[in-house]
Amino acid sequence: MRKVALRGLLARRVRLALTALAVALGVMLIAGTYVFTDTINSSFDRIFTSSLAKTDVAVTPNDDLTSDGFEGVDPIPADILQRIQGLPGVAAASGGLFDESGTILDREGEPISNGAPNFIASRAQLDRFEAFDVAEGRMPSGPGEVALDKSTAERKDLEVGGTVDVIGREPRKRYTIVGTVQIAGADSFGGAGVALMTLPEAQRMTGKRGAFDQIDVAAAEGTGAEALRRTIREALPARYDVRTGEQEAAQLSDDIREQFGFLTTALLAFAGIALFVGAFIIFNTFSITVAQRAREFALLRTLGASRRQVMRSVLTEGAVLGALGSAVGLGLGILVAKGLKAMFYAIGFDVPAQGTVLETRTIVVSLAVGILVTLVASLAPALRATRVPPVAALREGVAMPETRSSRLAFPLAVVLTSAGIAALVAALAVVSDTTTGLTLAGIGAAATFIGVGLMSPKLVGPIAAVVGRPLSRRLTGRLARENAVRQPGRTAATAAALMIGVALVSFASIFAASAKETVAGYIDRGLIGDVVVQNKDGFTPFSGGARELLAALPGVDDVAAFRFAQVRIDGEDKGVTGVDPDTIGAVYDVTSGDDVIAGLKDGEIAVSSDYAEDEGLRAGSVLTVRTARRAQLRLRVAGTYEDKAELLGARVMSNETVGREIGASRDSYLFLGLADGAAARAAVERALRRDFPQIEALTAEEFKDDQAAQIDQLLGLIYALLALAIIVSLFGIVNTLALSITERTRELGMLRAIGTSRRQVRSMIRQESMIIAVIGGVLGLAVGVVLAIVFTTAIGDIELHVPASSLVVLLVLSAVAGVLAAALPARRAARLNVLDALAHE
């Protein structure tokens, strides 16, 4: 029996290849994601291990509260270094800086990256702790000298002997490039730009005079690293982390893994979508081939094969197909990993990905997932194959027996769809835990798609009638429409695969349009100043020096800074916003409670009325927050406010308090009120270009466009990843058409015999494909719109905005995709030999 299954596969090689591709593309993204992130992780491991190789113990500030983009941890003061140097078992200790707040400028005076951090690092005081190797030139030795990482120097054409401008907490300064450096053989520090300076210069530029981000300690002869760690641990306050070099490297690796963990999860989610679509294709292909081979199965049964054997034969096909597809996917995945690296490089992240790390886990997961998906998808068709009665072998034109459940299918589908939507709502509105929420949302979405997929055989006819109407004036169109609905189940499953991709694309585009609209609404409501100042990357905070610089300019009437920091309240991390109470009223419109905000004093906090209600706070209450410095702050609640523009969040403090007590010294936004006329704006831009070229001044309209552009960039990425799922579903259309054409060979032969031209045959197949694709598109749009409504309603803060023109474009693209998918099947159908086709059984 196994031989029958394998021979069967060989006999249908093209079909096999197409179906295997449906699995392969999903597996490809799984494998690609793993290989890519594993390669990054291993490269980082190497960097960290190598840079800490000579460090027996590393001391760093404890930063369990701060995350990216937030500050708050004080550097280690010099007296701690002295204390360590005096401890027994210490051979040497020195402090260094590795500060993320720098900006390196390219030759045009623009920031070198649009997202990857730039570090201002200090050259090690003791050579034994030096993590960097000189690639060219030498290490910096004076206040005007800098060495750059080799990757940045090469990419930005910054040559040794030339100059480079660097901005830190201090304004822009020009340095002579005296060398380029590598780390652990890599040209870049994980994609970040590094400006290596002498320690005093780095301390000056970062505003960390006399302080360090890390202290490296070497143990004296005869002292073990762990023993030394314990000695230092006991001597230092808890706000410092003390780890052995190995532990520190492991910790850094873990942090990186966590940072890239999001990327891994996101990419795997898209791989999951592609596989889900692939499962539809496999299910459909197997359903069709099983139906076409009903007589073969009946014959096997007549010859004495048991149902179990028939079933096993179909499942064997599935397993072989899955294994084949997965293996191809795994191979492609390695290429995809390289492609991902190239893509990241192109958008400015030179992630360190040396070599190709293919872990056993990658192979096992890729193969297992691919085979499992194929088997699950072929289970129902396999079961159906067992229901063919042996007597069918003797009858002509056997139809597959209808499944007993088919009458229940529609109500079941409705229930499943409703349950899926309910799960989505629950995931968004009820569940607070992110992992549970995402899992539930995924299950909900899958249930919705399967539900609509099961419903769609009933919808195929009506939709095709509408879509096909304009085509039906010609015979080819009429036949295309009839053929598309001839087997509603088959068309439905094929269209459903496309539906998933279209639904997600339309959902994303509606969601993005709504988000843009909402943000624009916030800006309209909140911003009453003339200009918003922000980092060109849109999110990195910048030095408080910019505020001082701009406030002193003629024509700048009001400047209000906004800072975002994190504190811990009752064990949970919460954001706080820092504002300038004196000036905020002139540039930002709070819905209510502006007097509370304007009157905020040092040591006070204002809370949103919602938060006050939830927590039972009112003016005069005391709110205790823990800062990153491990200090407990008792803040007096000054009052409540309402902010419909959503910039302030739920908690507001003065920048004075935020800067001094929480340690957030950098600003995320400045809102400016300018004197009339163009002069003031020009003065602002001139000053920024001179001293802080990494930040920009935008009018309300420009700011809206910038926000929209950021959303669009993300949307573009999502589209690119969803394209994979859509490509898979197009393979499904190709497959279905090819199988249907095989079934209709004799009919095509007759049509050709009585005078249908090849062009007409091609046009008929293309239109059939287009109808299937448009059915998928219509279903997808419907599901996408419903999902978007559910999401925006459940989230609540977003105004629904449906970009009708985008959706129309999407529908047209579906139709075009359908026509493209038909290219090969149509050609084959048109080329059929008339006589052979007429003789076809």
Partner 1 sequence: MSTTPLVAAEQLIRTYGTGEATVHALAGVTVELPAKQFTAIMGPSGSGKSTLMHVLAGLDRPTSGRVVLDGVDITGLDDGALTRLRRDRIGFVFQSFNLLSVLTAQENILLPLSIAGRAPDAAWVDQLVGVVGLTDRLHHRPAELSGGQQQRVAVARALASRPAIVFADEPTGNLDSATSAEVLALLRRSVDEFDQTIVMVTHDPGAAAIADRIITLRDGRIVSDERAGDGIAVAERA
How far apart (Å, rounded) are the C-alpha atoms in residues 438 and 417?
18
SS3 content of the chain, % helix, strand, coil (to 5): 60, 15, 25
* Nearest partner of 649 among 596, 590, 705, 569, judged by Cα: 590
- φ, ψ of residue 564 to 5 degrees: the values are -120, 130
Q: Which residues pair with 182 in a beta bridge?
A: 133
Strand spans (E) along 481-549: 531-535
Asked if 754 touches partner 1 (CB under 8 A), the answer is yes
- Among 200-208, 410-418, 472-480, 644-652, the segment contacting partner 1 (CB under 8 A): 472-480
Closest CB to partner 1 among residues 654, 742: 742
Among positions 384, 547, 752, 762, the unique one binding partner 1 when judged by CB under 8 A: 752
Residue 29, both tokens: 């993204």
Q: Cα–Cα distances in Å, from 707 out to 46, 301, 570?
A: 37, 65, 33
The residue from 220, 347, 753, 808 that contacts partner 1 (CB under 8 A) is 753
Collapsed DSSP state (helix, strand, coil) of residue 76 = strand
- Asked if 736 and 559 count as a contact pair (C-beta separation under 8 A), the reply is no
When asked if residue 838 is in the footprint of partner 1 (CB under 8 A), the reply is yes
Nearer to partner 1, 364 or 475 (CB): 475
- Tell me: does residue 743 bind partner 1 (CB under 8 A): no
Residues 688-724, buried b or exposed e (16+ Cβ, 10 A)?
A: beebbbbbbbeebeebbebbbebbeeebeebbebbeb
Stretch that binds partner 1, among 37-45, 72-80, 398-406, 747-755 (CB under 8 A): 747-755
712 binds partner 1 per the rule CB under 8 A: no
CB of 191 to partner 1, least distance (A): 59
* Residue 689 engages partner 1 in binding (rule: CB under 8 A): no
Shortest Cβ distance from residue 481 to partner 1 (Å)?
A: 9
- Determine, following the binding rule CB under 8 A, whether residue 448 of this chain makes contact with partner 1: no
Dmax over CA atoms of the chain, in Å, equals 102
Q: Which is nearer to partner 1, 255 or 482 (CB)?
A: 482
Q: With binding defined as CB under 8 A, does residue 747 bind partner 1?
A: yes
Distances (CA, A) of 499 to 418, 732, 826: 17, 12, 23
Question: CB-wise, 479 or 617, nearer to partner 1?
Answer: 479
Q: Binding to partner 1 by residue 750, rule CB under 8 A?
A: yes
Q: Is 630 in the site for partner 1 (CB under 8 A)?
A: no
CB-nearer residue toward partner 1: 222 or 470: 470
Which of residues 239, 474, 574, 630 is near partner 1 by CB under 8 A?
A: 474
CB of 763 to partner 1, least distance (A): 12
Stretch that binds partner 1, among 101-109, 564-572, 751-759, 772-780 (CB under 8 A): 751-759
475 binds partner 1 (CB under 8 A): yes
Binder of partner 1 out of 55, 448, 483, 577 (CB under 8 A):
483
Residue 224 dihedral angles phi and psi, to the nearest 5°: -80, 155
Q: Please state, in angstroms and rounded to a whole number, the distance separating the CA atoms of residues 540 and 534.
A: 8
Torsion of CA 248, 250, 251, 257, to 10 degrees: 150
Strands 214-219, 57-61: pairing is antiparallel
Which residue, 140 or 468, is less far from partner 1 as judged by CB? 468
Burial status of residue 397 (CB atoms within 10 A of its CB: 0-12, 13-18, 19 or more) = exposed
Position 756 contacts partner 1 (CB under 8 A): yes
Q: Which stretch binds partner 1 (CB under 8 A): 199-207, 358-366, 527-535, 744-752?
A: 744-752
- 479 contacts partner 1 (rule: CB under 8 A): yes
Contact letters for partner 1, residues 583-602 (x by CB under 8 A): --------------------
End-to-end CA distance of the chain: 25
Q: Which is nearer to partner 1, 487 or 609 (CB)?
A: 487
Task: Examine residue 486 and tell whether it contacts partner 1 (CB under 8 A).
Answer: yes
Minimum CB distance to partner 1 smaller for 518 or for 763? 763
Query: Minimal CA–CA distance to 29: which of 725, 731, 504?
Result: 725
Number of residues that bind partner 1 (CB under 8 A): 23
User: By C-beta, is 568 or 840 nearer to partner 1?
Assistant: 840
DSSP state of 97: -
Does 840 help bind partner 1 (rule: CB under 8 A)? Answer: no
Nearest CB to partner 1, comparing residues 35 and 837: 837
Determine if 386 is a binding residue for partner 1 (CB under 8 A).
Answer: no
Show Cβ contacts of residue 514 under 8 Å, excluding neighbours closer than 6 positions.
Answer: 788, 792, 798, 799, 800, 801
Q: Point out which span in 122-130, 317-325, 443-451, 754-762 binds partner 1 (CB under 8 A).
A: 754-762
| 153 contacts: CB under 8 Å, gap ≥ 6 | 159, 160, 177, 180
Applying CB under 8 A, which of residues 760, 782, 813, 824 lies at the interface with partner 1? 760
Pick one of 751, 773, 807, 815: the residue that binds partner 1 (CB under 8 A).
Answer: 751
Q: Which stretch binds partner 1 (CB under 8 A): 22-30, 411-419, 703-711, 831-839?
A: 831-839
CA atoms within 13 A on the CB side of 658: 29
- Say if CB 765 and CB 828 are below 8 A apart: no
- Counting contacts by CB under 8 A, is residue 399 touching partner 1? no
Decide if residue 755 touches partner 1 (CB under 8 A).
Answer: yes
Tell me the DSSP string of 159-210: -TTSEEEEESSSPPEEEEEEEEEEETTBSSBTTBEEEEE-HHHHHHHHT-TT
State the minimum distance, in angstroms, from the CB of residue 757 to partner 1.
5
- The span from the CA of 309 to the CA of 386, in Å, is 9
User: Which listed range, 162-170, 374-382, 562-570, 832-840, lies at the site for partner 1 (CB under 8 A)?
Assistant: 832-840
Closer to partner 1 by CB, 204 or 752: give it.
Answer: 752
- Return the range that interacts with partner 1 (CB under 8 A); candidates 177-185, 372-380, 481-489, 624-632: 481-489
**Do 200 and 62 meet the contact criterion of CB atoms below 8 Å apart?**
no
Among 74, 79, 482, 614, contact with partner 1 (rule: CB under 8 A) = 482
CB of 754 vs partner 1, minimal distance in Å = 5
Q: For residue 268, give both structure tokens.
A: 């795997």
Q: Are 671 and 589 in contact (CB under 8 A)?
A: no
Question: C-beta of 745: minimal distance to partner 1 in Å?
Answer: 11
* Beta strands 572-579; 651-654: pairing state: parallel
Per CB under 8 A, the segment of 50-58, 261-269, 734-742, 748-756 that binds partner 1 is 748-756
* Interacting residue ranges for partner 1, rule: CB under 8 A: 474-475, 478-479, 482-483, 486, 746-747, 749-758, 760, 834-835, 838
